[in-house]
Amino acid sequence: MRTSLAIVLLLSGGSSLASSPPTWPVSPSRMELSTPYGTLHVNASEYVYESRLFIDNTEVTPAIRGILNITYAFKRPKALVALVSIDNGSSDCPVVYRWIILDKAGYTVSPEFGSCSENIKVSATGQLLTLRTPSSQKPDKIDIYTYDGKTVRRSTTPK
């Protein structure tokens, strides 16, 4: 069954990516997202890489810690899906991502994924969520990560 997804409006913000090519949009950034299933929010810390992700007053497990941003959210008929960017301070891979699906039964957290870049394009078609980003291993390629609510799959295409 194909279910259309509507993007939930997020506030634009965060740092400008002046060095980014014009084809990569600046990702929205939000610290809190109210949903019918609870409030997803970043619990800030005075330590740079120690902010934590919570739903209401409960920390998400597995723990998601670092410099966190809720970048995109999509509404489904019986759920809300949010993309969270995670910077844990690694110089080898400065940013990774996780999808969080919230519904009346609770939440699901995807495995970490991404090609270590802040430059992303995100879309949703039916139940499939897609993140495109420059490949860290092949500069002339784009990595495409798809998530169906259970599995993150990666493929690579030319720019």
pLDDT tens digit sequence for 72-102 = 999 999 999 999 999 988 888 999 999 999 9
**Which tokens is 85 given?**
């960017």
- What SS3 class is residue 158? strand
- Span 36-62, pLDDT tens digits: 999 999 999 888 788 999 999 999 999
Beta bridge partners of 79: 76, 103
Q: Of how many residues is the chain composed?
A: 159
**Which tokens is 76 given?**
């489904």
Is a pLDDT exceeding 90 seen at residue 69?
Answer: yes
Is a pLDDT exceeding 60 seen at residue 5?
Answer: no
